[in-house]
Amino acid sequence: MADAPKRHIFVPDTQVRPDVPTDHIEWCARYIVEMKPDVLVVAGDWFDFPSLNSHELPGSIPMEGRRYKDDLDAGNSAFRRFCAPIEAEQARLVANKKRVWKLRKIAMLGNHEIRADRVASNDPKLFGAIGSQDCDFRDFERHPFLERVWADGICYSHYFQNTHSSRPIGGNVENRLTKVGCSFMAGHEQGYLHGSKTLACGKTIHGIVAGSCYLHQEPYRGAQGQRHWRGLIVANEVQDGDFSFMDVTLNFLCRKYEGVPLQEYMVRKYPMGDWSHL
């Protein structure tokens, strides 16, 4: 007899750093509590670690004032806030002797978390003093960068590599489905790509790439590269890799929990910011 269908929620890259708003973290957590998935997956790049950005020169203006500890504290604090409503709800159900919420919690490391490992590798005197081990993912399963994690027939990874290089598989979803060869979800890439493919054997596989669950702008993307999709992915009726999926935008979550559209909320709360991208 086949297992009962499951529900998964996938949290794309949050890129938390000290100087960005994270109001959406609580909205995401409240929605997860409401939906009570069976599997919760954090895509990686929860932490941004701008202090360790190797693409900027030491002493350059973008690196001025950056501190590893500040970056680490920002990401760990946001993750505690994310977990608090989930942990409280699980404890409440146990205390009230109601149905236990059995939740598999998966946290994958992204290329931003391993910035800390790369620094330690390049300067051995820092080994043990700095590294991705400082990222506190609490009671989540912790999976190394680019490890493939399976849950109910869906393969999760921060991104999927080309077989003959270290570069991510690119192109449209149909191309990625052909190369990955199974149902998958990945983060890393801003925006939202999704698609399905029915194979000759009768099996349908689905591919989702969603790498943005944050409110801020990313300066490296320039003025024309900021209006990408931002939100969560919910997979319903997950069974042996087949599922139906829906995207839950941060605008929807803001309307649901704050009662106003996202851009209006941000302008009111952070009037000095530029929120035209939302």
Residue 2 has pLDDT above 80, yes or no: no
Residue-range domain boundaries for the chain: 6-269
pLDDT more than 70, % of the chain = 95
* Residue 32 contacts residue 9 (beta carbons within 8 Å): yes
- The residue with tokens 């192109």 is 171
The whole-number pLDDT of residue 260 equals: 98
CATH of domain 6-269: 3.60.21
Average pLDDT over residues 211-239: 94
The whole-number pLDDT of residue 100 equals: 84
Q: Which pTM value belongs to this model?
A: 0.94
Residue 20 φ/ψ region, left for φ over 0, alpha for ψ in the -120 to 50 degree band, beta for the rest? beta
Average pLDDT over residues 240-251: 96
Average pLDDT, the chain: 92
Burial class (CB in 10 A: 0-12, 13-18, 19+), 38: middle
Q: How far is 235 from 150, CA to CA, in rounded Å?
A: 14
Percentage helix, strand, coil, to 5, in the chain?
30, 25, 45
Q: How open is the CA angle 83-88-89, to the nearest 5 degrees?
A: 105
Q: List, for residues 126-183, the tens digit of each pLDDT value.
A: 777 788 999 999 999 999 999 999 999 999 999 999 988 889 999 999 999 999 999 9
* Alpha helices by DSSP H, 2-130: 24-35, 68-95, 114-122
Least confident range from 61-65, 67-71, 230-234: namely 61-65
User: What would you measure as the largest C-alpha separation in the chain, in angstroms?
Assistant: 62
> Is residue 67 very low, low, confident or very high in pLDDT (cuts 50, 70, 90)?
confident
SS3 29: helix
Letter for the amino acid at 79?
Answer: F
pLDDT more than 90, % of the chain = 78
Average pLDDT over residues 46-66: 70
The whole-number pLDDT of residue 272 equals: 93
Kindly report the backbone phi and psi dihedral angles of residue 80, in degrees, each rounded to the nearest multiple of 5, phi listed first: -60, -45
Q: How far is 144 from 146, CA to CA, in rounded Å?
A: 6
> Is residue 80 very low, low, confident or very high in pLDDT (cuts 50, 70, 90)?
very high
- The residue with tokens 């910035």 is 115
